[in-house]
Every structure is written in C-alpha cells, then in structure tokens.
Amino acid sequence: MRIFTARTTALLAAGLCLPLGLAACGSDDGDAADQTTTATATSTTTSSTTDTTTATTSVKAEQTSQAAEETSAPAAPEEDPATPSADAEASAQAQALQEELDRLKTEIPTVTEGKPADDEVKQQLMELERNVNSLDPNLDILQFFCKKDRSAPDTGQVVDYRRQMLTVLQQTGQQIPSPQVDITDLKVDESGKKASGTVHLSINLPGAQPQSTPQGFVLEDGQWKVCTLDG
C-alpha cells in the first residue's frame, strides 16, 4: 500500500475523492457473473440429461462408469482461509487510503477570515471541480491545479493511481453518470485571490458513496486553480 506524503494532500483530496466514492459500484458484478455461470451450468446439465435419455443402454453404462471414476477422484484442495483473496486485499487497501484521505483533509488550509463568494466566483469554482472530478481516466487533471501542487513530491504517482482506479471502473462496462458537484461555505479572502470551501461529490448510482472534502483555491494567471498546499 502506497503511503503518500502530506505534500500531496491536494491531489489526494481532489483527485482520489471521487474514485474512492465509486469503489463500491462494481460490487454487484461478481453476483452477476455467478448467476451467468450458474445459468450456463444449468443449461449444460439439461442438455446432458436429454442426450442421456436418448442414448443406448451401453452408452448409459459407459457414462455411469465414467461418473463413478470422477466421483472417486480426489477433490481439489480447498483455498486456505488464512490467505486473503484479491478482493479482500483490494478492499483493505481502499479502506486504508480512505482513512489516510480523511486524515489529510484536516491539514488543508482554508480561508478563515473573508467574505462569501459571489455567484460568478462560485460558478467558476464549480466548473473547476467538475473538471477535476471528471471520470475520464485520460484527462490530465494537473492543468487544474496551481504550480505549487503540480510540483509537489509524489504528484505523478497520485495521478497514475487515480488513472488506474478510473480505468478499472470504465472497464466494468457500467454507464456511470456525471458526478453532481456542490460547494458550500465558500469564502474569498480580502485580496480576492484565495478562496476555500467544502466540496460535495455524489453520483446517482447504487453503491456509490458521497464524498465531501475541504478545498482551497487560488487565482493564478487569471484563472482559478485548486491549491490546497498554498497555505
């Protein structure tokens, strides 16, 4: 399990928040696969029974003999219950990352003294968060972060991990709707170049967990950027 440094707080909070909230979306895929396997097995069994009914007595005897041999064959070794499955290991890693993310959220600097953001600023920051939380694994989200965040240690690893998570979700074949984004408690400091608020993310999909995280922003080169490392 990769443990990221506090310097990557912004990318963890903004880049991995949504993928972690979607981690449970594929939980029903295994059940569907089991049902498909069961249906196939049932169909095969039914077909075999029909063939046996129309077979000759000698073929029946041969099949009975083969069945007896298969029955007497040693059973496959059972999986050691002490050995964690891949699903259990992945779940444990996701849980550990979620706990780390929750801890890092408390370290994000926010605007303590300021005024409520006007509607224009809020709409700009809402659009920024929609881009940051895009479900496209090929979108380079670093363009939406400030220079300090982009140069932080481990940035590349965090972005790669996010891309991997979203790619896995994409490969499930599920149609995942666009995330709903809202920002509350949005404040702008006296300079008008720093802001912060609480970002709320949700997706209308069974199993998806809503996520909330404090977020910082700075006005850089005339555009708002996510910048929670800029304290």
Residue 75 lies in a domain: no
Give the angle 211-180-110 at the CA atoms, nearest 5°.
50
CA 101/CA 12 separation, integer angstroms: 7
**H or E stretch at 128:** helix 119-132
Residue 134 lies in a domain: yes
Residue 194 lies in a domain: yes
In which domain, by residue range, is 112 found? 6-30+90-226
- Percent helix, strand, coil in the chain, to 5, is 50, 15, 35
**H or E stretch at 115:** strand 115-116
Residue 179 lies in a domain: yes
pLDDT digits (tens, 9 = 90+) for 56-79: 444 444 555 554 455 454 555 555
pLDDT digits (tens, 9 = 90+) for 81-133: 555 677 787 677 667 766 766 666 666 777 888 999 999 999 999 999 999 88
CATH of the domain at 157: 3.10.450
Residue 59 lies in a domain: no
Residue 82 lies in a domain: no
pLDDT band at 135 (very low <50, low <70, confident <90, very high): confident
Residue 45 lies in a domain: no
- Is the pLDDT score of 200 beyond 70? yes
Q: State the average pLDDT over residues 4-24.
A: 58
Asked if 227 and 216 count as a contact pair (C-beta separation under 8 A), the reply is yes
What's the number of domains the chain is made of? 1
- Is the pLDDT score of 171 beyond 50? yes
Residue 214 lies in a domain: yes
The highest-confidence range among 45-49, 53-57, 62-66, 214-218, by mean pLDDT, is 214-218
